[in-house]
């Protein structure tokens, strides 16, 4: 072979896929013939992989609220405050679309319809509905971690940076199946899945068990938001944002299920009562 030895710059550029085809072929031919250089190049690639695996976990961290708020903050002194409010209200109307206003069952602390938490809720509530539809039909792998595993709550709490409590809905006829971690727009979210308790001896083989899911996330904004109901086809959704309290950060909740509204409401109330922020 009469091609000159590629220098380190060329070998490095080869790793990064920055060489034109003919140079690439030359370098590849050289590396086949020179195991020593090939080993060096492999070590460089391994270093790059280690760098990524050391820093990639940052991508999964929940985005600090301060950063999200920075993005939504209006430019100072450019617009009067009411314009921002109006903009947020318009967005709220837009994202909530056909949401039924009558779904306002009760109010949690002071709430403003124009709060950014609500304005941006349309997105995550939608994701809660999609996550429900994706995982509920699963027969063998409906959840990532089963309810019996005691670390479920700790694991989700740690990853979400909000307290994740495993709500007890047995009184309402539902038992916990387990939970999973899901990606949300600005960080991780969690889904808890519950299943209707089948009475012993009942012919359960035929019908699929009724399932509901609870979607939790760290909200973009700490502002508490009212309890709302939305109907999407056969799916009913109750969602709200619980504000920060002494022992927990703000948490966004969405309860999703193909149940009659009163039944779903009973579950939502049970969850609301059991929220970690409540004594």
Partner 1 sequence: MDAPTAFRQQLLGVIPRLRRYARSLVFDMHAADDLVQTALERALAHWHQFDQRRDILVWTISIAHNAYMDDRRRHARASLVEPSDGFDPDASQPAAGTDIGLQLDLVKALGRLSLEQREALLLVTLEQLSYAECAEVLRIPIGTVMSRVSRARIALRALLGDDGDGKGAMPPQGTLRRVV
Binder among 1, 25, 29, 43 for partner 1 (CB under 8 A): 43
Strand order in the sheet with 174-184: 145-146, 174-184, 187-196, 211-217, 251-257, 235-242, 225-232
Q: How far apart are CA 162 and CA 242, in angstroms?
A: 11
CB of 155 to partner 1, least distance (A): 11
Task: Name the residue nearer to partner 1 (CB basis): 38 or 108.
Answer: 38
How many residues belong to the site for partner 1 (CB under 8 A)? 51
Residues 170-199 that bind partner 1 (CB under 8 A): 185-187
31 touches 38 (CB < 8 A): yes
Q: How far is the CB of 86 from partner 1 (least distance, A)?
A: 12
User: Minimum distance between the CB of residue 98 and partner 1, rounded to whole angstroms?
Assistant: 20
DSSP bridge partners of 228 = 239
Check binding of 2 to partner 1 (CB under 8 A). Answer: no
Contact call for residue 59 and partner 1 (CB under 8 A): yes
CA atoms within 13 A on the CB side of 108: 24
For the CB of residue 261, give the shortest distance to partner 1 in the complex, in Å: 32
Considering only residues 60-99, where is the footprint of partner 1 by CB under 8 A? 60-61, 63-64, 66-68, 70-75, 78-79, 87, 91
CB of 112 to partner 1, least distance (A): 19
Measure the CA–CA gap between 163 and 272, rounded to whole angstroms: 14
Q: Whole-angstrom Cα distance, residue 87 to residue 109?
A: 23
Q: Encode burial over 188-200: b for 16+ CB neighbours within 10 A, e otherwise.
A: bbbbbbbbbeeee
User: Which range of residues in 20-28, 59-67, 103-111, 137-145 is near partner 1 by CB under 8 A?
Assistant: 59-67
CA distance 125 to 255: 9
DSSP annotation string for 46-115: HHHHHHHHHHTHHHHSPPPHHHHHHHHSPPTTTS-HHHHHHHHHHHHHHHHTT--GGG-----SS--TT-
Q: Does residue number 134 form part of the binding site for partner 1 (CB under 8 A)?
A: no
| Cβ at position 189, least distance to partner 1 in Å | 14
Nearest 5 degrees, angle CA 191-CA 131-CA 252? 50
Minimum distance from residue 265 beta carbon to partner 1 (Å): 32
By C-beta, is 70 or 102 nearer to partner 1? 70
Spatial CA neighbour of 62 closest among 226, 239, 181, 213: 181
Residue with Cβ nearer partner 1 (25 or 46)? 46
Site for partner 1 contains 203 (CB under 8 A)? no
Summarize as ranges the residues that interact with partner 1 (CB under 8 A): 5, 7-9, 11-13, 16, 18, 34-37, 39-40, 42-44, 46-48, 50-61, 63-64, 66-68, 70-75, 78-79, 87, 91, 185-187
């Amino acid at each position: 072979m009469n091609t000159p030895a590629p220098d380190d710059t060329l070998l490095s550029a080869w790793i990064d896929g920055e060489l034109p085809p003919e140079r690439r072929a030359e370098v590849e031919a050289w590396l086949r013939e020179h195991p020593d250089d090939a080993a060096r190049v492999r070590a460089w690639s391994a270093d790059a992989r280690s760098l990524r695996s050391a820093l990639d976990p940052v991508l999964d961290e929940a985005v600090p609220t301060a950063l999200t708020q920075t993005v939504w903050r209006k430019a100072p002194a450019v617009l009067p405050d009411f314009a921002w409010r109006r903009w947020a209200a318009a967005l709220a109307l837009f994202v909530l679309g056909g949401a039924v206003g009558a779904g306002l069952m009760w109010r949690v602390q002071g709430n403003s319809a124009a709060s950014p938490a609500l304005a941006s809720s349309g997105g995550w509530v939608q994701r809660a509905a999609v996550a429900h539809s994706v995982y509920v039909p699963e027969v063998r792998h409906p959840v990532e971690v089963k309810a019996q595993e005691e670390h479920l709550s700790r694991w989700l709490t740690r990853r979400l940076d909000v307290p994740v409590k495993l709500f007890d809905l047995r009184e309402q006829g539902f038992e916990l199946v387990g939970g999973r971690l899901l990606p949300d727009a600005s960080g991780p979210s969690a889904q808890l899945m519950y299943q209707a308790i089948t009475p012993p001896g009942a012919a359960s083989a035929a019908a699929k068990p009724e399932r509901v899911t609870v979607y939790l996330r760290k909200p973009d904004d700490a502002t508490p938001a009212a309890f709302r109901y939305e109907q999407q086809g056969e799916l009913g959704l109750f969602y709200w944002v619980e504000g920060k309290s002494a022992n927990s950060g703000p948490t966004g909740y969405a309860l999703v299920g193909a149940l009659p509204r009163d039944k779903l409401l009973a579950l939502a109330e049970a969850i609301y009562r059991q929220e970690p922020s409540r004594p």
